């Protein structure tokens, strides 16, 4: 039984960057927002700002995802929108020098994390009568680039999952969308370069990248289309970027 008359949106990886901005944006258009991530302190801060509910979540752990889905069900009894945003990249090594642990992490968080949470919430999304699964992929899902193989492989996996889900849900009241951003200024590069702030800053030097709010605005637009409209895929880039590694910079 639903305990709220508002639609409920679940956002994974909502403790920072695109996920936090998406939680704020969806709260702004009338959703009761549930925020999931591992850093509960940061998650609670974002939740407080947007009147949402913070629930600890590690998308790489079966038990954590099961407990999260149970908590959503207990508190709200419904789920209308799932934003699969938790993810990221680790390293830029060549295939020859690839770090297997980094690849494993990228596959676990991006692909299996998206799979776990989607599986757990799909019954509620179908039951809502107008569910939506919106997954944050990347330009890396469309375009291989030097040093990107592990992240390319993971985001290609997310794209495959999302596109197959769309096919398999045909006839069910659930829409499926993949949003693939290019460069967005968040903690993404700091994570990718394992805390090296100088390398992370260099990614955005002399360029105007997308902001987390730009992507959140797109998620919110997708979520608020009429029920018969499925936005299947979006590639969104900064004006200063035309492909994964072609970027206009005013300084190097
Ligand atoms: P970010 O600021 O580093 O955010 C990543 C989020 O994922 C954090 O909230 C983090 O929260 C969460 N996360 C990581 N591992 C998790 C886990 N095991 N369980 C639950 N949550 C987890 O970077 P962002 O740019 O906003 O990234 C959001 C998504 O956009 C990612 O899927 C990324 O691949 C994608 N993307 C980013 C860019 C870009 O240039 N920034 C471009 C294209 C796509 P905790 O650490 O608190 O768990």
- Any idea of the CA torsion for 151, 155, 157, 159, to the nearest 10 degrees? -170
Is the pLDDT at 4 greater than 90? The verdict is no
Report the atom number in ligand 1 closest to the C-alpha of 158: 32
The CATH architecture one would assign to domain 8-243 is 3-Layer(aba) Sandwich (3.40)
The full set of domain ranges for the chain reads: 8-243
Residue 151 annotated as catalytic = yes
pLDDT exceeds cutoff 90 at 252: no
Residues linked to residue 176 through DSSP beta bridges, in sequence order: 133
Q: pLDDT band for 57, please (50, 70, 90 cuts).
A: very high
User: Tens digit of pLDDT for each residue in 184-202?
Assistant: 999 999 999 999 999 999 9
Best substitution site from 88, 151, 153 to test ligand 1's pocket, by max atoms within 8 Å of Cβ?
88
What the block records as the tokens of 216 is 């959140």
Ligand 1 centroid to Cα of residue 166, in Å, is: 23
Q: Which of 179, 232, 178 is nearest to 210 (CA)?
A: 179
pLDDT at 122: 98
pTM for the complete prediction? 0.98
Ligand 1, residues at Cβ distance < 6 Å: 12-13, 15-19, 37-39, 57-60, 85-88, 109, 136, 138, 181, 183-184, 186-188, 191, 212
How many helices and strands (H and E) does the chain possess? Answer: 9, 11
């Amino acid at each position: 039984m639903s305990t709220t008359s508002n639609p409920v949106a679940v956002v994974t990886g909502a403790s920072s960057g695109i996920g936090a901005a998406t939680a704020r944006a969806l709260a702004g258009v009338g959703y009761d927002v549930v925020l999931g991530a591992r850093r509960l302190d940061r998650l609670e801060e974002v939740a407080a700002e947007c009147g949402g509910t913070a629930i600890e979540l590690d998308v790489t752990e079966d038990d954590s995802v099961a407990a999260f889905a149970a908590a959503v069900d207990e508190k709200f009894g419904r789920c209308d929108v799932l934003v699969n945003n938790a993810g990221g990249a680790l390293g830029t090594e060549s295939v020859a020098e690839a770090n297997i642990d980094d690849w494993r992490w990228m596959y676990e968080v991006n692909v299996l994390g998206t799979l776990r949470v989607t599986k757990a919430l799909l019954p509620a999304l179908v039951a809502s009568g107008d569910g939506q699964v919106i997954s944050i992929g990347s330009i890396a899902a469309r375009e291989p680039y030097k040093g990107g193989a592990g992240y390319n492989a993971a985001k290609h996996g997310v794209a495959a999952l999302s596109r197959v889900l769309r096919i398999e849900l045909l006839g069910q009241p659930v829409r499926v969308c993949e949003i693939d951003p290019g460069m967005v200024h968040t903690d993404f590069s700091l994570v990718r370069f394992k805390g090296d702030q100088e390398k992370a800053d260099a990614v955005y030097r002399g360029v105007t990248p997308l902001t987390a709010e730009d992507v959140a605005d797109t998620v919110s637009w997708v979520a608020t289309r009429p029920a018969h409209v499925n936005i299947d895929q979006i590639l969104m880039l900064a004006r200063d970027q035309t492909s994964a590694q072609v970027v206009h910079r005013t300084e190097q």
